[in-house]
Amino acid sequence: MYTEKLMQLFMNPKNVGRIEDADGIGEVGNPVCGDVMKIYLKIEDDRIVDVKFETFGCAAAIATSSMVTELVKGKTIEEALKVSNKDVAEALGGLPPQKVHCSLLAEEGIKAAVDDYLAKKDKTKREASETRQCAKA
């Protein structure tokens, strides 16, 4: 059901861990739904110089986390915000239909981390605590 590329990344994910002095942190998902993704960004001059993730979830959640961190690394935050769930799924060679929500989570994880960075930067509080509903297959 999973592509070879996805299984490779699931078995050997890249960018796992946390960044202690992260400039932006995004946490999306819900343990009740079975997947939570936490993205840490290190940003210099509006460019993502380092990115790490921690994920609780299935193989697809772990692989999409890994893939999205690779896709945004080195990009400006503007470019990073353009990385869509489709880009993530395509880079993995496709996702089974019931796992598409994992790629959405990856896209949202980056957006949440960038939002957090911008909020801190602007010192304006943004509401980033939208409650997510469990994705349906």
Partner 1 sequence: MNRFVYLDHSATTPVDQKVLEAMLPFFSMDFGNPNSLHTWGRKARQAVDQARDEVSRLINAEPSEIIFTGGGSEADNIAIKGVAFAKKDKGRHIITSAIEHHAVLDTCKWLEKEGFDITILPVDEYGTIRPEELRKAIRPDTILVTIHFANNEIGTVQPIEQLGNICREQGVLFHTDAVQAAGHISIDVKKLPIDLMTMAAHKMYGPKGVGALYIKKGVKIVPLIHGGGQERGLRSGTENTAGIVGFGKAAALASDRLAKDETEKERNLRDRLIDGILEKIEDAMLTGHRTERLPFHASFCFRYIEGESLLLRLDALGIGASSGSACTSGSLEPSHVLLAIGLPHEIAHGSLRLTLGKDTSEEDIDYVLENLPKVVESLRAMSPYGKRG
Catalytic residues: 33, 102
132 burial via Cβ count (<10 Å: 0-12, 13-18, 19+) = middle
d(CA 26, CA 19): 12
Q: Which of 31, 45, 124, 125 binds partner 1 (CB under 8 A)?
A: 31
Q: Which of 32, 49, 74, 93 binds partner 1 (CB under 8 A)?
A: 32
Q: Does 36 participate in binding partner 1 (rule CB under 8 A)?
A: yes
Distance of CA 129 to the CA centre of its chain: 16
Q: Does 59 participate in binding partner 1 (rule CB under 8 A)?
A: yes
Q: Which residues bind partner 1 (CB under 8 A)?
A: 7, 10-11, 13, 16, 27, 31-38, 54-59, 61-62, 98, 101, 134-137
